[in-house]
Homo-oligomer: A and B are copies of this chain.
Amino acid sequence: MGELIFIGLGLGDERGITLRGLEEAKNADMVFAEFYTNYVPNSYIERLEALIGKRLQILGRIDLEDMVDERLLKPALSGRVALLVPGDPMIATTHMAIRLRASRLGIPTKVIHGVSIVTAVIAASGLQNYRFGQSVSMALEAGDWGEPSRTTYDVCAENLRRGLHTLIFLDFDAERGRYLSIKEAIERMIIMEERWREEVFVPRRLLVGAARVGSEDAIIRAHYLEEMAKLDFGEPPHVLILTGRLHFMEVEALLCLAKAPKDIGPLRFEGP
């Protein structure tokens, strides 16, 4: 009887995997991996192979979307098959679609959770988890610029109205070798603001930018929107937080851990 095991690789380098994840990968008959939904650093794959003691078979978007039956699920009908995934599996819709497809084919599935950027960036920022509203993403659309997304703008506006923070995921496409940087994301925010003018992405809006969370050279910085675009965050992945009303302990955390400007204080909440 076969089995399909999704294993989260967590963040940073190959040491982001849990002991349970490593054990399951070692016990699998075949180990596949996908690295197109998230960024992984150079030489990561070789070090992961050394750790597991097995050759990894890397699957791309086409393998997992159009050819998933043949490439992944057929072997899982009879053997123990592991699919390694950066971060936590199932946060990406692709993985859930594969899991449901496997279930329909009668293949038992299991998930070994990994550290996700969703909680790690919140924890690293010093902001409080229960003060976040709905999260959004900024996509790498068809063109390099694409159309600004009204949904992204509206979710940010609604969270601000309720005093909540917004986690903004910046798209990454490994196969096209493109990712959205914090600088580019802010340029888009300015375009959105010029178009819709609801005082969401104003120059004095406090943002938190983070790069490479979970790795040794992670950077986390809080600054006003107009200043944030000038900072250099280096290599991907990048992520942004739009802050809402700040608790006094969040203010202290941003000052202490994210080099926030000294005047952020526990100010009265302003607009939209």
Chain A contact residues, CB within 8 Å of chain B: 8, 10-20, 22-23, 51, 88-91, 93, 96-97, 99-100, 103-104, 111, 113-116, 118-120, 122-124, 126, 128-137, 158, 162, 164, 213-214, 249, 252-253, 256-257
Contacts and interface: CB of A to CB of B under 8 A. Distances in A.
A23 B216 CA distance: 14
A256 B100 contact: yes
A129 B137 CA distance: 11
Contacts of A129: 91, 118, 135
Most B C-beta atoms less than 10 A away, residue of A13, A14, A134, A135: A134
Given A90-B124, A130-B137, A17 B15 contact: no
- How many copies of the shown chain assemble into the complex? 2
Nearest to A256: B103
21 contacts: A13-B20, A14-B19, A16-B18, A17-B18, A19-B22, A88-B115, A88-B119, A89-B123, A91-B119, A93-B249, A99-B253, A100-B126, A100-B252, A100-B256, A113-B123, A115-B115, A118-B118, A119-B119, A130-B136, A130-B137, A134-B162
A172 to B, nearest CB: 16
Contacts of A111: 123-124
